[in-house]
Structures are given as C-alpha cells and as structure tokens.
Amino acid sequence: VVDEMEYLLKLGFNEIHIIDDVFTADMQRAYKICEEILRRRLKFPWYPRGGLRVDRVNRELLDIMKRAGCYRIPFGIESGSQRVIDVIKKGITLQQAEDAVKFSKEAGLEVECYFMIGLPTETKEDILKSINFAKKLDPDYVKFAITLPFPGTEMFDEMMESNRIKSFHWQDYNFAAPRNVYEHDNLSWDQIEYFCAKCHRDFYLRPTYIMKSIYRSIKNGQFMAHLEAFLKTEWF
C-alpha cells in the first residue's frame, strides 16, 4: 500500500484519498501502514474518504494517523437514536460515537459525521434525535443523506415483499438527489426530503458553527471558496 502511495507522490500527486469501506477494519494493518509512511518520511495530506466505523478506532491509532499526515476522519453514525441503530443492525452505540469523535478532536483531526434520513421504522422524533446528536458531537462537517434500498440488501428485499418499492428506474436511486423510490414505514417522501434539508439547516446555520467555520476557512485560506459554496447552497 505504501509503495503505491510513494509511486503516486513521485508522479506529482499532492494528496491521497483512501477509498476503502473501512480502512481501519483491521486496526493493526492500518497502524502498520501509518508506521511505514512515517518510516519512509513521506509527507502528504490524506484521509480515509470511504469512512470509518466508530468501533474500529482508538486514541493510539488516531494519534499515529495524524502524525502520518491524515487530516480528517469521516464516521458513519447513521442515527442519533439508539433504537434505530439497533433496528438496522449497525452494531455500534451512541457512546462509542461520542468517544470516537472526542478522540479524533483530541488528536487534532477534523471530523465528518454521516447520518441517514428515512431508515426503517424511523419517526420524526428519531430524526430530531439525530440532529440533536449531531449538534452535540459538533463535528467540522456533517452530511445527512436519504436512505436508499439498493437491490441485494435486506432492506430492499423486505420492501419488495411488502410491495413498498415504487420505482425500478435505477437513475432514481441517486445518492445526491434520489426520487420517490419507496414507501416508508412512518414518513411520506415529502417529509423525508423536508427533514433532510432541515437537518442541514439546523446544523450549519448555527451562529457558533458559522463563526467557527469563518475562522477555520480564513486560517486555511479557503474563505472565498467556502463563501461561494455557502451562497450557492439552497438552504430553503
């Protein structure tokens, strides 16, 4: 792995994103990769863009990832409701999520948190728990995405059995802009879209977050780019 990283750097690339479902699934392997980056004295920014599980990190691993050049950690948390997390068989706890985010911040890493809207059996109250939990964690970035039942998944099979799949046009199953593809247990599609937008507004339009973001973007020289993105975003 590090041979490939070194080769890319020699070609002239300046940053590497690791596209791996769970880079730290084997925590010892991830640790060794970081050790090898340090041993070869390779200096480049990188981050595990595929996302990490909150139960597959610890303070020691996060520390060496930071020293090896990692600058941001994305965590797939999915919900702020422990009940919903258990329903989807995620196999994590909210406390593990809090600890993982806390350890990442202490290691000096930026933090991204991913949540999903429209998970099986989810209610309005569960969604409000998710946004409140996101605010409590206070990561640098957060992403709320609409849940999609892809073919081959348990969710898709269950929805097929109950005749709740409404579209077999696969272009509708778009991560960025999914269409009305299924009938949810408790929420209409309009409500799912509404809450997805609301969660982003409630998180990013907080005065404390805006001030922190302005300070961070000025410090790293990205203020104008972030301002342009903010103005182009349809918040309402």
Percent residues over pLDDT 70 in the chain: 98
The pLDDT value recorded for residue 148 is 95
Q: How many residues does the chain have?
A: 236
pLDDT at 235: 64
- Using the predicted structure, report yes or no on whether residue 102 has a pLDDT greater than 70: yes
Q: Which of 99, 81, 100, 86 is nearest to 24 (CA)?
A: 100
Task: Tell me how many degrees the CA angle 219-17-235 measures, rounded to the nearest 5.
Answer: 60
Taking only the tens place, the pLDDT of each residue in 154-186 is 999 999 999 999 999 999 998 888 989 999 999
Quick check: 212 pLDDT over 90?
no
Note the pLDDT of residue 182: 95
Q: What is the pLDDT of residue 24?
A: 96
pLDDT, tens only, 64-87: 999 999 999 999 999 999 999 999
C-alpha to C-alpha distance for 117 and 51, rounded to whole angstroms: 18
pLDDT tens column, 15-45: 999 999 889 999 999 999 999 999 999 999 9
> Rounded CA gap, 46 and 164, in Å?
41
* Token pair in block for residue 127: 């969604």
R_g of the chain, CA atoms, integer Å:
19
Type of residue numbered 153: T
Distance between terminal CA atoms of the chain?
44
